[in-house]
Amino acid sequence: MTPHIGLELKTVIIFTALAMLGLVIDLFAHRADKPVSIKAASFWTLFWIAIGTSFGIFLYYYYSADVAALYFAGYALEMSLSVDNLFSIMAVFSWFGVKSGYTHRVLYWGIIGAVIFRLIFVLVGTALFALGAYVEIVFALLVALSAILMMTKKENEEISDFSAHPAYKLVKFFIPLYPKIFGHNFFISKKQVEQELLKEENKGITLKRKGLFFATPLFLCLAIVETSDLMFAFDSVPAVIAVSKDPFIVYSCMIFAIMGLRSMYFILDALKNTLVHLEKAVIALLFFIAFKLFASASLHLFGFGIEVGIQESLVVIASVLAIGIVSSLIFKGNKETK
C-alpha cells in the first residue's frame, strides 16, 4: 500500500519553514542585481539540493523509509523532467535580450508563481490535463521559434526599446505597457512614465493604453518564463503523481526540485558565456525539445508519433551538451579572434 501522510501540522510547518528560509536567504544574497558566476551558481545549486535532501531525511526519521523513498523518487523525477525547461528559459532571456544581472530576479519571482500554480496542479491531479496535447503543439512551435531567434540574434545584443518586439506588440492592446526596461522593476507608476516620456530619447514613444501602473518588458519576460514552467508541468505533475498519490509528498518534492533547477540555470548560462560553442548546443536542444513535444502531442491526438522517455531525453541532452563543451575546448579560438 502506498504511504499516505496527509497534512500533518508539524510536517507542513517544517516544509514551509525550510522553503521560506531558503527563499529569503536567496533573495537577500542576490539583491544587488549582479550577474551570477559559475562558482556562485554551483554553491546555490548545492544549497537547494541540501535543503531538499534535509526534508527527505526528516521524512525518513519522522515517518518511514518508504515515505522518504517516495519523496526522493519524486524529487529525482521532477529534476529529470524539468531539465528541458532550463533551455526554454534560456531562449526566453535571449529573445528579450535581458541583462544577466536581472535574470535571477525574474527566476526568483518565477519560483513564487511556480509554487502557487504547482499547488493548483497537484490538487486537481490529472483531471484538467485533457487539453495538454493541443497546448504541446503550440508550445512546440514557440520553442522552435525561440531556437530560430537565438540563431539570428546578434552576439551580446541587448534590447533597449521593445516597441517592435512581438510580445510587446501582442500584449500592449490588453494591459498598459511601457516599452523600455526600467531598472529591475516589473511595473512602474504613471508618474514615472510621464517623467520618462519627457526625456529626449523617448520623444517617439506612444503608449497604446493608459493606466495608474505600466508593466515593463521585464514583466513580459517573467510571464513567458512562468508560461514555460506551466507548459512543462503538464508532463511532470502527472508523472510525479504516478509515483506517489499523496498530494503533500508530490508537492514538496516538486517545489524543492524546481528551486534547485533555477539555480542550475546560472551554471548553464555561465558555461554558455565561457564555452564558445555551447550556445549552438542549446539551440540544437531547443529543436529537440520542440520535436519531443510535437511528437508526443501527435501520438496522443492522431495515433502516430513517438514518446521520448526520460532516460532517452537525458541521454540526448547530456550528449549534445558534451559535444558543445568538447568542441568549445578544441575550437575555442574562433570566437576569441573576432
Cβ burial 204-229 (10 Å sphere, 16+ → b, else e)? eeeeeeeeeebbbbbbbbbbbbbebb
Count how many residues are written for the chain.
Answer: 338
Compute the distance between CA of residue 228 and CA of residue 137 in angstroms, rounded to an integer: 13
Residue 209: strand, helix, or coil: coil
- Fill in the amino acid letter for 170: L
Q: Are 145 and 287 in contact (CB under 8 A)?
A: no
Better-scored residue on pLDDT, 254 or 33: 254
Q: Is residue 142 part of a domain?
A: yes
Q: Can you tell me the mean pLDDT for 312-335?
A: 77
Task: Give domain status of residue 21, yes or no.
Answer: yes
Amino acid letter, residue 191: K
Q: What is the average pLDDT across 228-242?
A: 68
Residue of 275 and 201 predicted with greater confidence: 201
Residues 313-323 have pLDDT tens digits of 768 878 888 88
Q: How confident is the model at residue 225 (pLDDT cuts 50, 70, 90)?
A: confident
pLDDT surpasses 90 at 53: yes
Q: Is 291 exposed, middle or buried (0-12, 13-18, 19+ CB in 10 A)?
A: middle
Q: What pLDDT does 335 receive? A: 47
% of the chain at pLDDT higher than 70:
83
Domain membership of residue 185 (yes or no) is no
Give the pLDDT mean for 199-209: 80
User: What mean pLDDT is predicted for residues 161-188?
Assistant: 80
User: Nearest-CA neighbor of 177 among 213, 127, 224?
Assistant: 213
Of 328 and 50, the one with more pLDDT = 50
Q: Which residue in the block uniquely carries the three cell numbers 515515505?
A: 67
Q: How many domains does the structure of the chain reveal?
A: 1
Q: How many CB atoms are closer than 10 A to CB 193?
A: 23
Residue 167 lies in a domain: no
pLDDT of residue 16: 92
Q: What is the pLDDT of residue 114?
A: 79
pLDDT of residue 338: 40
Q: Is residue 174 part of a domain?
A: no
Residue 140 has pLDDT above 60, yes or no: yes
* Cell 521559434, residue located: 145
Q: What pLDDT is stored for residue 336 in this prediction?
A: 45
DSSP-derived secondary structure for 218-283: HHHHHHHHHHHHHHHHHHHHHHHHHH---HHHHHHHHHHHHHHHHHHHHHHHHHHHHSTTHHHHHH
Asked if residue 272 belongs to a domain, the reply is: yes
Domain, as residue range, for 255: 9-158+216-336
Q: Does 319 reside within a domain?
A: yes
In a domain, 288, yes or no: yes
**Dihedrals phi, psi of 213, to nearest 5 degrees:** -135, 150
pLDDT of residue 320: 84
Write out the H or E segment, with its range, that includes residue 93: helix 65-96
Give the pLDDT of residue 73.
84
Using pLDDT thresholds of 50, 70 and 90, give the confidence band for residue 37.
confident
User: Which of the four pLDDT bands, split at 50, 70 and 90, describes residue 15?
Assistant: very high
E strand or H helix at 296: helix 278-302
**Residue 52 predicted with pLDDT over 90:** yes
**pLDDT for the residue 17:** 94
Q: What is the pLDDT of residue 130?
A: 47
Average pLDDT over residues 230-257: 75
pLDDT at 1: 52
pTM of the model: 0.71
